[in-house]
Amino acid sequence: MNNFPQIILASKSPRRQELLRLMDIEFRVVLKDVDESYPDHLKPEEIAVYIAEKKARAFDESVVDEIVLTADTIVCIENQILGKPETPGHAVEMLQLLSGRMHRVITGVCLLYKHQYHSFYDVSEVYFGKLTDEEIRSYVNKYQPLDKAGSYGIQERIGLIGIERINGSYTNVVGLPTEKLYRELMNL
């Protein structure tokens, strides 16, 4: 067990919540609406951290003795950012683009504690095998991945049948690099 201060998870992601539970970290969820736009000149790693910090800034005036944990995950293929799809058709297009190729999953994390920002990121390379259009459409119809960067969840069917290998952290691809997060929490 740990002796961390109370943690506020500023995310509605059930995957991030489950990862924290598996780490035996107690937390409560508090959500605030944040504009997730970013300057065009940023590199993909900088974008993920920028948005995570932007989410944390929404809490800066209201939280002191608690740790606010924010995160943002993006999918990047050849420096093209794949955010959350706007429609099922857009999700199909994204998965067709990822099929048979390597892409990077980047998660930026920010820990706000006593008005100090502790930010970091992790990068994982994900290699998809070739997917058929039928496999892609079936996945999109059943799982409705409109809330997922890159249009997929690694823990769902498409990840189980399509991902050949990962270089880097699996939990980062799920949405939270737990190994780095734990070390950063211990250093606070």
Enumerate the active-site residues.
72
Distance CA(175)–CA(5), nearest Å, equals: 22
Contact 97, 77 (CB under 8 A): yes
Strands 7-9 and 27-29: what pairing? Answer: parallel
Contact 174, 159 (CB under 8 A): no
- In one-letter notation, the amino acid at residue 3 is N
Distance CA(49)–CA(44), nearest Å, equals: 9
